[in-house]
Chain A
Amino acid sequence: MRAIRLSEFGGPEKLVVSEQPEPVAAEGEEVLEVLAAGVNYADTHQTEDSYLAKQTLPMIPGSEVVVRGSDGSRLLGFVSGGGYAERIAVDPKRLFAIPDGVSNADALATLVQGATAWHLLRTSAHLAEGETVVVHAGAGGVGTIAIQLAKKWGAGRVIATASTPDKRALALELGADVAIDSTTDELAAAMTEANDGRGVDVVLEMTGGRVFDQSLRALAPLGRLAVFGMAGRVPPHDVAPGMLMARSTAVIGFWLVHVVRRPAMLAAAVTDLLGMLERGELRAVIGGSYSLEAAADAHRALLDRSSTGKLILVP
């Protein structure tokens, strides 16, 4: 079969298609056809071994797939690598059934991005009705879903940040009340100004560096800063617990791995999101569909921040 198999870590240039042996099914698994695979920011970290979890070689990247089940149904789920390939060995019991009215690409948006947005708002930030939510990278995979969920779940105001006018226009189209330029030097001031001069209640942050630092400053008392990435590869300043106490604020880390390890938590989010997509209550923004041969382009689009929404590979 055709697959992308890395024998050394590195950037997008390492994503080269080659002929590989067929996967071998372990007990409970079946070898199934990969209809589509999600491309995630985490993949770019894994291929260069800068991810939260240590990676090993050789590696076929790709942790989320849509496969054709043995009964012809389309199934969606997380895998422990191997998604950038024509076929994969997977346990079908761990996968979710995709409604007929939901495309493969849209379904993939419910996993890394959708489940992250869902649990950031519900489980980590405990969004309450009427609260103000800041969604950084509002045109990204998580951001585009988080904006819609925050509005649907009663946020009083959703403030999106994005780096270009096109991305800000997309965030507004998805329901953000305000979209601000993420490249501004005075991001904290821009966030509070967008909230009529008040601090904000919830911030979803995945950039790191100054965006984290300024988001913390922009929080209202009892505000929560939920951190789920460091796309800029620049760490923020250390957080002083005394400062959190003095302002009654919280910083909450989120790594989707801990949700995936609890199948019930993942099922809640994915079932809800698939239902919203099927009923037309949620729009998945698909930023691009790439062939296996063009996987490097997909990674470059994530790394240079030119992409919007969800990127997929179609082997």
Chain B
Amino acid sequence: MPGRRGGSTGRAALAAGLAAALLLGGTGCAGTPSASVSPLVVNIADIQSATIRVRLNQVIRIETRGPADRYSPLVADERIVTVVVRRDAATGRFEPEIVPHRVGTTQVALVGASPLETTGFKVIVSP
């Protein structure tokens, strides 16, 4: 469901989240950014080694539940997506958005205080 929290950290939640990603990916207007497409919201606990599919006109919002200075975003190909550092106004927590720029597949990693605390995943951007 658009904008809904990712929920628990189990495999079922991950599967549901990724299924939602696929479903949400089908709702956008191809190639044209639109404010009407809700962000795809995922929890950082659910996306380790996952593949997230997103449409070109949709952003991925990642709930980290952590302070902003704890994560450094890394993107293998910034022509495909970039990470916008976004702080939740209410909680002050770091909730980065992944913004698609073109169709393709790339690796993204959010590195925590140490490399041990990294979350790495693939993002596939479709038209």
Contact = CB atoms under 8 A, between A and B. Distances in A.
Contacts of B77: 97, 99-101, 274-275, 278
B78 A122 contact: no
Interface of B: 48-49, 51, 74-80, 104-109, 111, 114-122
B116 A264 contact: yes
18 contacts: A94-B49, A97-B107, A97-B122, A99-B77, A100-B104, A263-B120, A264-B109, A264-B115, A264-B120, A265-B116, A267-B121, A268-B120, A271-B75, A271-B108, A275-B74, A275-B76, A278-B77, A278-B79
Nearest to B108: A271
A267 B109 contact: yes
B107 A271 contact: yes
A96 interface: yes
Nearest to B119: A264
Nearest to A265: B115
A93 B74 contact: no
Interface string A271-314: 11011001100000000000000000000000000000000000
A265 B118 contact: yes
B58 to A, nearest CB: 19
Interface residues of A, number: 27
A237 interface: no
Closest 5 CB pairs of A and B: A267-B120, A99-B77, A274-B76, A268-B118, A271-B109
Interface of A: 73, 93-94, 96-101, 119, 122-123, 262-272, 274-275, 278-279
Contact of B76 (A99, A264, A265, A266): A99
B5 to A, nearest CB: 22
B107 A270 contact: yes
A97 B76 contact: yes
Contact of A73 (B48, B105, B111, B114): B105
Contacts of B75: 271, 275
Contacts of B105: 73, 97
A65 to B, nearest CB: 16
Contacts of B74: 268, 271-272, 275
A123 B114 contact: yes
Given A93-B49, A263-B49, A264-B119, 6 more contacts: A97-B107, A101-B77, A123-B114, A123-B116, A267-B120, A271-B109
A302 to B, nearest CB: 28
B109 A272 contact: yes
Contacts of A99: 76-77, 79-80, 106
Given A97-B76, A275-B74, A264 B48 contact: yes
A266 B111 CA distance: 11
Nearest to B51: A93
